[in-house]
Amino acid sequence: MSDFVISQIRTYVPMIVGAFLAWLLQFGFDLYEVEGQITVVIVAALSAAYYFIVRFLAEKWPGIGVLLGVNKAPEYSES
| Residue 73 located in a structural domain | no
Q: How far apart are the first and last CA of the chain?
A: 20
Query: Domain span at residue 13?
Result: 3-68
User: Is the distance from CB of 19 to CB of 48 less than 8 angstroms?
Assistant: no
pLDDT per residue as tens digits for the range 22-70: 888 777 766 666 666 677 788 889 999 999 999 999 999 999 999 999 9
| Domain annotation covers residue 76 | no
In a domain, 75, yes or no: no
Domain total of the chain: 1
pLDDT per residue over 3-23, tens digit each?
Answer: 889 999 999 999 999 988 888
Whether 27 is covered by a domain: the verdict is: yes
Closest by CA position to 69, among listed 52, 54, 53, 49 = 54
Question: For residue 37, is it within any domain?
Answer: yes
Residue 22 lies in a domain: yes
Give per-residue burial for 10-30: e unless 16+ CB within 10 Å, then b: beebbbebbeebbeeeeeeee
pLDDT of 77 reads 80
Kindly report the pTM of this predicted structure: 0.76
